[in-house]
Amino acid sequence: GENVEQHPSTLSVQEGDSAVIKCTYSDSASNYFPWYKQELGKRPQLIIDIRSNVGEKKDQRIAVTLNKTAKHFSLHITETQPEDSAVYFCAASGPSSYKLIFGSGTRLLVRP
Amino acid sequence: SQTIHQWPATLVQPVGSPLSLECTVEGTSNPNLYWYRQAAGRGLQLLFYSVGIGQISSEVPQNLSASRPQDRQFILSSKKLLLSDSGFYLCAWREGIATNEKLFFGSGTQLSVL
């Protein structure tokens, strides 16, 4: 089955700097890759997703890139703000799978 | 619009007691439904998923079970809780007509087994 690895597990950046979180997946058939943000004690919220027919997607300060050949995808947050501090999860799903498999999460701390 | 309801928000139970967590979805038909568990400071572990009434797929062998008695209702149960069952339980749903659509989570249940 699908396995998703995520790193780093923790990331601390200065406000205004960029943050990058990387994930790799094992199943080459996977074609849907969402990213979730979870604040303390809250539910994970979808912030951006990408499908395998595109290599990059942007939404304001957030972007995701996908390298199908290498089977990895990354979340990029530019001009980080303290409210970006949270745990971020990547996930992957295949075309014939009902399951969304998550990475282990990255705790991002943005220092004011 | 679609909404997902999950209750209770918090629960403290003694070891060996039963468990029942309920989740309902509104505004959609035949959704795919999921139960995830998150241990403290850890990732999201898929426990069960269901693609239709009475259809349950189990991902992790354990003393938990799930049922789907109605199209938009998903229940997580246990006959006897263990200390290791403590965690944050999240119900989630996806559109049932396609497997690659967005997954939406309920607000979660923080379960403490003492």
The C-alpha angle B51, A102, B78, rounded to 5 degrees, equals 55
Q: Report the b/e string of B5-28 with b at 16+ CB within 10 A.
A: ebeeeebebeeeeebebbbbbeeb
The answer to whether A89 and A7 have CB atoms below 8 angstroms apart is no
The C-alpha angle A5, B31, B97, rounded to 5 degrees, equals 85
Ranges A18-22, A50-54, A73-77, B51-55: which has the least confidence: A50-54
H or E element, residue A47: strand A45-51
Does residue B61 have a pLDDT over 90? no
* One-letter identity of residue B33: L
Select from B32, B37, B42, B100 the residue whose CB has the most chain A CBs within 10 Å, as the one to mutate to test that interface.
B100
| Interchain proximity A46–B59, CB inside 8 Å | no
The answer to whether B94 and B34 have CB atoms below 8 angstroms apart is yes
The answer to whether B51 and B32 have CB atoms below 8 angstroms apart is yes
Range B17-31 average pLDDT: 93
Residue B74 and residue B62: Cα distance in Å, rounded? 18
Over the stretch A21-63, which tens digit does the pLDDT of each residue have?
999 999 999 999 999 999 998 999 999 999 888 899 999 999 9
Residues 64-93 of A with CB under 8 A from B: 89, 91, 93
Range A79-106 average pLDDT: 92
In the structure encoding, which two tokens stand for residue B80, read together? 């006897």
Q: According to the model, what pLDDT value does residue B60 have?
A: 82
Does residue B97 have a pLDDT over 80? no
Question: Is B48 within 8 Å of chain A by CB?
Answer: no
DSSP track, B29-63: SS-EEEEEEE-TT---EEEEEEEETTEEEESS-SS
DSSP state of B8: -
With tokens 């229940």, the residue in question is B75
Question: Is B51 within 8 Å of chain A by CB?
Answer: yes
Does residue B96 have a pLDDT over 80? no
